[in-house]
Every structure is written in structure tokens, then in C-alpha cells.
A and B are shown apart, each in its own frame.
Chain A
Amino acid sequence: MKYFWSGVIVLLFGFLLADFLLGEPRVATRAGMELGSAPLAKNSAAPLVAFVHSLHGDSIGLTCVNCHSGAKTDARAFMPTKADCMDCHRLPLTEKPGIEALDSAMKTAPEEPWVHKNVLPPHVVFHHGVHAAAGVDCYDCHTARPGVEQDVYGGESFRMQDCMDCHRGVNPAGKFKPAATYCGACHR
């Protein structure tokens, strides 16, 4: 009988090992986004200035949608263009010494300074607006810890089971109602 149990334990161990190795974490660690990191801007000798979300967020009264203009209504959240950045940054906004580096980076930045890698494959339909309308906050998905804002976004790797958990109503503290779970709702 003890062989039976050792067999069970080995089976379980193998299962968990595979799940551990292959089930990826929600957020892959990635260096912060930097202004001018776009391939377009690679040629220009613009200095790179890291973008810090916490400097642009709640602390100064802005929300995600003020820069990512599609985040609440559109399929895609969109990255801001240079013009969008310059709406605010054409005035000197701070006395900190780094601001000059920022200004010169801004001057040489291309029209679309941010490169966004679309992490969802083309057969997956994701609509930011529908989720926002259902009361899902941006940082419910775009973060390592659901519901907590962070400094650097991007590089998230999403797994279908995370989507499915929420759609089945299995989410932190039952925050959201169950949603559609038939295949044709999100795949094409």
C-alpha cells in the first residue's frame, strides 16, 4: 500500500511542478517604459527619460483615461501621442533639475513616442470599454496585485484562466458579476 501512496505523491508532485513551471506569473518583470525607447526614436540621440506612472496619476489628480484616452470606452486603451503629452508639458511643470533633460527629450521625440506591444493574439477579443462599464478598474488587471496601483505597467502576460475566473464570478470578494463564458464572446 505504501507504494500506492508514493505513486500518488509522485504524480501530485509532477503535476504541481509542471503547473508551477508553466503557469506564468501575472506580470512579467520588465524594465520601465522609457520615453524615446521607440524604434522610431532610436536614431535620434534623445536621452531616455523613464516614465513614472505614480507621478502622473492620483497624486496630481489625473486618471488613466486622461492619457490612455480609450481606456474607458474603446476597445483599446491607446498610448498618448506627443501632442497629448505636450498638452501639459509645454509649460515647465516643476523646478526639479531633471526637467531640462525631459524637455530636450520631448523636443526630439517622434510624434508617437510610445511603443506598445500588443500582448493579446489576434483571435482574442478584448474591449477595455466593456470592462470599464462593468466597473472593472484598470489596475484590477494591469497589476501584479489586483486592485493595487503600481509604478510601471506594460509587459503583463495575461492568461485565459485569469479572464475565466473573473467571468465565472470567482474574483476577489465577489467584486464583479459573472459575465459571458461562451467561446464566441471573446474569440473569433
Chain B
Amino acid sequence: MDRREFLKLCMTMAAGFTLFGCRSGGLTDKLSGPALKDFEDEVRRAMAQMKPGFRLVKVPMPGEMKSSPADRENRFGMAIDLDACDGCGKCILACNQENNVPLVSESLAKQGRFMHWIELRDGIPTMCFHCSDAPCEKVCPTGAANHTPDGLSAMMYKRCAGSRFCGANCPVQARKFNYEDARSLGHAKQFNPQVPLRDKGVMEKCSLCIQRLQNDRMNFKANAGLAAIAGAKSGLAGITGAKSGPAVGTMSGKISWRGKGLQTACAMACPKHAIIFGNWLDESSDLVKEAKVRNLYAPEGIAKLDPSVVYMRGRR
């Protein structure tokens, strides 16, 4: 056998072995999706393998975003009342259903790698804190992790290349990586048609229910013109807002959207009302009213990064 032939043989063999490697990982398609009970079981399991908590330090009340671009009227966030929270885990399930968070296979579950956007750490619900100076966004090579002007650390799944740099740089490990193709494994269930299912190989994390904010903002803007005209024409503004229309806030005479009346899924699910969602820049929101009289805390690792989600404990 001469060298040329030998090399050719080696090439084909290398290609063959590569293909062999591919083949042995064949996924089996499961047609039946998981049931709600599977998700409940998984939440229970995750709570049983609880991770250690973070040291909490005091933080000031979140104000306007420091990074650009910043919206001067809206900065959405949450405050979690640790005095009220009893760690029941209902928020986790609600979040999973709202955001179509998939199940994980046994091997990942054993390592505690659940996809849950909310985790209980030492009994405290922990999710992405939506830092205004977010370290994950700085290192994302493609710009898939980025900020909205109203305070959300958003994630563009289609732009994500899965370098996992953001995950490495998150001090609170809030980011979850899609190690497996949940759809073809039958691990995903689209509870909420408003939220797309994520592909294999992308990062995901708490989005602060961005779909609710988007829908509410757009519905508001689409009807703001009509509502304004009707309100100006006659005193019939009360009637026009009859069907639970988005609330209207005013600033300098102009009607603007402040996200009134919006709730995240976890906040709605909390039986103790320990999670309060709202607009940090809206003085009249429940969030600001409550946070003003409480001591605010955040995990030590991100306390200096101006988080939008904070903990409340004790009265001031």
C-alpha cells in the first residue's frame, strides 16, 4: 500500500469515526409531552436538593438605571418579602408554566442542573436580579444578553451562540443552559403560547415575564391614541376603559405607559403575596410604597451592580 492510499484510508476512517460518534448519541423522539404532574414532581425534587444561600447585604432602593439606554419613567423590578416568604415553591411552578421551562433528564437532575428560572437557595427564592450593570451582558460575545431601557436584562435566544460566558460570569448563577433538546426529548410543554420554546445550546434565565410587559405596552400604545381622543372629547373616559384596559399614567401632561396593574407569574402565584412586582420609578406603585418602609437586601456578589430585584426584610 503506498502512502497516498494509506492517507486516504485514514481520512475515510477518521470521517467514519466522527460519524460513529454522532450516531451513538441518537435521540429518541417522545411524542407524548410531559404532564403537569411531572413538573410538580421536579419542583419538589429541586427543593429537596436545595442549594446553599448567599450572604445578603443591604442595598439602597433601585432608582433610574445607570447604564444607557435608560428609560426615565420605567424601571421594572421586584421585591421579595423574606418575612412573608415561607419557601413553599409555588412561584417555581408558576414560573415554569408561564415561561415553558422544560424538564431535565435524570443525569442532569442528579447534578442539580434544573432549568428552573427560580430556585430556592436556603429557602429563599432566587432568580436573575436584573442588575443594571449586568456582568453577564458585558461578556456576551454576540450581544444576545442585553438590556432593555426599562430595566430588564433580556435574552435573545436566536442570537445566542451558547458560549456560556455569561453563565461563568454571573455571581449568583442565575443562568441556565439548555444542555439538551427538550423538545425532541419530550421534556418541554408549551403551557404558554406567548413564550417560544428554547433551542438546545442556548442560555436562558428569568426574563421578568417580558412577554407580559411587551403585550401590555403594545396594547396600551395601540389604544392610547383612541383613549386620549375619547377622554378629551367628552367626560366619557370612564366608559372607554371599561374592559380592564391598561392603566394610564401621566407625566408632564402626556399619557405614558407605566406598566400599572401588571404582575409576573411568580408574584401572582405567591400565596403570601411575598413577591411584589412593579415600577421602581412610579411613586404610586405598590412596590415603591412597600419598599420605602422596608430594609432592602441583595446577595453580596451583585449588591454593587444595582439589581432591580431585591429582598425585603424587617421594617425601617
Contact = CB atoms under 8 A, between A and B. Distances in A.
- Asked if chains A and B are in direct contact (CB within 8 A), the reply is yes
Contacts of B146: 182-184
Contact of B210 (A74, A75, A128, A184): A184
Interface in B63-109: 69
A22 interface: no
B240 to A, nearest CB: 12
Contacts of B184: none
A188 B223 contact: no
B157 interface: yes
Given A75-B215, A184-B152, A188-B195, A130 B210 contact: no
B169 interface: no
Interface string A126-138: 0111101100000
B185 interface: no
**Which interface class (under 10, 10 to 19, 20 to 34, 35 or more) fits B?**
20 to 34
Interface residues of A, number: 20
B14 interface: no
Interface string A103-145: 0000000000000000001110101111011000000000000
Interface string A48-76: 00000000000000000000000011110
A122 B148 contact: no
A184 B209 CA distance: 12
B95 to A, nearest CB: 15
Contacts, number: 71
A186 to B, nearest CB: 8
B314 interface: no
Interface of A: 72-75, 121-123, 125, 127-130, 132-133, 182-185, 187-188
B173 interface: no
Q: Report, nearest first, the 9 A-B pairs whose CB atoms are least far apart.
A: A129-B222, A184-B148, A184-B154, A122-B196, A127-B218, A130-B218, A123-B196, A130-B221, A183-B156
Contacts of B218: 75, 125, 127, 129-130
Contacts of B263: none
Contacts of B222: 72-74, 127-130, 132-133
A133 B225 contact: yes
A161 to B, nearest CB: 15
A127 B210 CA distance: 15
A131 B112 CA distance: 45
